[in-house]
Amino acid sequence: MDIPPLAGKIAVLSLGALPVSYALNHVSALSHPLGVVLMSALILGLLFVAIYSLSRGEICYDPLYAVFAVFAFTSVVDLLIALQEDGYAVGFMEFYTKEGDPYLRTAHGVFICYWDGTVHYLLYLAMAGAIRRRKRYRNLGLYWLGSFIMSILVFLPGNILGKYSSEIRPSFFLAIPYVLVPCWAGMRVFSQSQAPTCCTPNVAQEEQRKGLLQRPIDLALVIYLALAGFFTLFRGLVVLDCPTDACFVYIYQYEPYLRDPVAYPKVQMLVYMFYVLPFCGLAAYALIFPGCSWLPDWALVFAGAIGQAQFSHMGASMHLRTPFTYRVPDDTWACFFVCNLLYALGPHLLAYRCLRWPAFFLRPPPGAPAHHKKQH
């Protein structure tokens, strides 16, 4: 997969978040929650006008250019929030975390800001650069889509259900376009044509005739998916207060963060159980039976989703903003870290396998023999 050059114009424009946030932090009118909402909406509106006037050709070619440009600006803002909450920056976004989104001051909020300010930011610049040079960015877009949706699926319900539910401010409703726009963007990304593959029909048929035991990489991935599915189900039962001894020991000795009243870890485990667990089963099926052409796309989506989720979950489990009683104990830290790191790496290896050797997932050409379709 070719990574397009970054969009320099968008990078320069996004860095305007530095002086803007610093100036707004000293405006007394922003000490009121409603003032924060109105000013945020005004800035985003002016930003969109500026982007449209500077890059009309790119927007006409692909409207997602404007989306990526605006989100790149907000990614810099999120990075400033994370740096300020960790004490690395002063005087930038205090007004917003106090009067706008106080839940960004939690450990989970800090780490989703770090992820948005680094990984998402680079993806926005790369995708905008691809649009500017009329290149493909479908794979990058699918990874971003999974990451962004996972962040929203956990963060918004966590705000409503957790201990910060009484502190929801008017700025919470700014999340409505933040949810709708990625849905529209996701449909546009999925509708883009796939990159042509160099696999000939003969190569695809030969690969699809191989049983699972003849494909050791796929066999290893199937075993990983089975173990990941079990781990996903187990942690889902843990947050649902399963009374078994194993669940009791795990939540108190290995991941006490799952008991944190902020509700983000509980919501995260439930999202895993209801979405990632079925995907593990479907992905294992696609690795056993050939012709499941949907797997490469969805492997990228879930790689982005689990990468973002595990980064936020692992970081918040050990962050100083998390109360000491809910942090990972020192004597089980290594086990926690290895298990969660493998849980995050597996989907990325699956996505890499699908992109690097796609022949097994290509649909058999019309009239091809059917006897090899369900060989093990």
How far apart CA 79 and CA 113 sit, in angstroms, is 6
Span 140-152, pLDDT tens digits: 999 999 999 999 9
Q: Which helix or strand (DSSP H or E) is residue 119 part of?
A: none
Residue spans per domain, the chain: 8-191, 201-361
pLDDT digits (tens, 9 = 90+) for 55-86: 888 888 999 999 999 999 999 999 999 999 99
Residue 204: CB partners within 8 Å, gap ≥ 6? 359, 360, 362, 364, 365
Stated pTM of the model: 0.91
Residues of the chain with pLDDT under 50: 370-376
Q: Do 307 and 344 touch, CB atoms closer than 8 A?
A: yes
Q: According to the model, what pLDDT value does residue 367 have?
A: 54
Contact 224, 346 (CB under 8 A): yes
What pLDDT, on the 0 to 100 scale, is given for residue 178?
Answer: 79
Round to whole Å and give the CA distance between 161 and 182: 23
Contacts of 340 (CB under 8 A, 6+ apart): 310, 313, 314
Burial group, residue 161, by CB count within 10 angstroms (0-12, 13-18, 19+): middle
Per-residue pLDDT, 4: 60
* Residues 347/303, Cβ–Cβ less than 8 Å: yes
